[in-house]
Structure 1
């Protein structure tokens, strides 16, 4: 629009003075004889016009960022100004990042220049926004672009840190799209909504550390929450993670490589939380199919295992501690322990003697060694015996066939050693003056071919009765065992005799 400027020329002071003089002169002449009385008027005027523009500058406009991330319907806003003619309209436009074509979101004609932008029909990703302002003089201006990310389908997940955590644990949230997120990982007591922030992360990859030592013992639900601008995404809950920083340990004692009968299993257990129970378990050697043998609920932690209830074979053993919080600890594995209750039969295996004095007669220091094929229950040899030295009596009784029977007795209690027959006559007369000696009996265990055996040693002491004589020829001993003796596995000792192995000698 153009305006016309009119410039009018008016008489100056000089012009008016000249005009006044002229009028005075004219009046004088008019008064003179011979002049007319008419009046002369002189006037001069001139009019001109110039046109100029009132608004020759474009407006200013700026696009306001709606945030680094948007979703759903969001308000987009621009600011615009023009100090002469004023703003006629503002167009708000959007395009996918990298595209060349802009789409108009809306056109606003008055401040505030804003409108609603529905992003639900757009693909997730980065978008540019701009505004174009037009003033009333027709001039336009375009704002700088601002970038935002549309996230309508983005998701966040939290990796499961494990059923039980302790110490420092790395938590790993993952977001499916977009950048510029602020992520926090939260915990709540199992089954509640009392969420507490554990740790935060602001850059990808969005991982953070959980110092569980500052978290009370217990079971927790976990989740991750991501925010960007006004947008929040919450992950599915990772349920039932146990925080357990209790210090606990358990050690299973080795019961031995060869097991038979009832075996006493023991464990040493400790925990900063009270120990509720210790479970003793077995598995076929080299497997992980654990079977509970027994459970103890009070210290000292022990278990009587009747091995006769399993097949002979090789077994691994372990113990499992459970504390009052329900947390567990597993002991070392005691591996490849042999259970043998029937594979090796129980028999009287051997009888031997050693000389302690005169090699031609029975006297103090001589020893008789009775060896069983496997371990026996010492209390079935004589009541209450544990193998420690025990006083007994040894007698030699002459037979009709030029042999002597060596017999064993204990004052006030049965002594089930059977008898030993020697091919010599140490007793001088049949039934008369049978020699008798004080003696000491002990028991020990020897292992032969991986099988432990009980050896009973009878050491001859002082002669207390009868008479003894020297012998001139070697003899072989035969042991006739007592069937009142039982193995650790409960098997009764058969009456089968054992013959002395090795070379003959004159002792016994």
Structure 2
């Protein structure tokens, strides 16, 4: 996975400007625990290099040249390290480090076993920043070998399984076998394959196989009494079960902007998306008006875009492997925008700094103004935030001007006849302007597989201010600290869907870093895994303020397993209030979404 930089602003900060509010990183660690003051080093390049490795081909043998392409927008590229991951290996092997273009190595593939290999490159610039490329795959075939194609982490329906023979000078008979994952009890799935393509169809819906179970696969080539076995394709989950989905009743009559929502769950592959649809009575056409891809599966929709009348609503859920399910229909809901209506949009559960609050309104008599009010939650002490006479009706609320706490919001519309209509209340929105907050969460692939948590992967948590490391772990001064990274399936933490989580432990206790919702499926149902890891605190600059970044490097798997390869998602970090800044003030617990372009974590 290409590394996403958190360090885009410091070059301009050197000349006194703040660029985009993004942080610039220093390698400095906390210098002393007694003073709780971090030292910071300066640099004039804060941009990591870009790097990619060229694919040498689907099948290679003998000595081949592996070439990488690397560049850096500000500094020179100091070197590019090219690495390979051998079949069944747990760590990467370095082929060479090239310091001049072309960044290439000669790879004598005869020095290793035949089989499937991964290749990657790590580029480092002269400022010390490094980026790891996406991996490419190739098959080494110097002697006779058999390779079974990988059908994917999760499969459904009829799946074609194919084996390939390399350097076969004799006739072979091929069979493909399966075993419940990890058991080693092999059974024949199909046999007597005597000519290329050596393939057969796997009916995953057969009663022979358990839905939600994972299976290992392999291929065996036989010539007389001699058999050759392929590498095992492990942990392939079967999922032919459609997700569950329920459309929530949006109410009736519907006016103005209304909330439409559904609940959906899938125990195996996880929910990929939920389509919310409407159908006007007397027609047969369903129209999708919103497609949420993460919980909550809901959206706000302006019903004035619909012709007044009677409608039905439903939800269609699709899981990550393509199984779909349609909810029961919520019928006979009336859309009627002939009367006055006003609503205030939810600005979010946690508010800080300047926040835009927006309202929607409609009236056949015409609208003179819309006033947006706030009040301490549960009270009737309303104060006007603003009055707007033209759409879009909105204002900017400086939340720093009020005390931290819970607030209610409403909108009051006045029509041309002087009549007022008051919206329903958006309640208990928390104003939290704590100086110490979460700023960003990032995960970088450094292990064997992009999208699968493993040894070498890196997790970074960035705050908006300096953290006292002793509040994270007693006596810690910010240096390398042995910790445990725990990955848990959503079901094991009382959640559902694509909500697998990561937290950090030390000596069996959870450290006050909060938890990270990965918003994807990284581990199988009700499973958890623990990895040895190290954590280091260093400094960074966020919006001109010296802040803390915690870098957690994942080590070897120590317990559990059942890991899965996940697709791209935006992780959400919820910090802990037990983490304190240098003045002893607690961290905000406002959730923080992963910044930057969408990519695969780990």
Normalised by the length of structure 1, the TM-score is 0.34
Larger-Rg structure: 1
- Looking at both structures, which has the greater relative contact order when contacts are Cα pairs under 8 Å and sequence separation is at least 6? 2
Calculate the TM-score normalised by the size of structure 2: 0.29
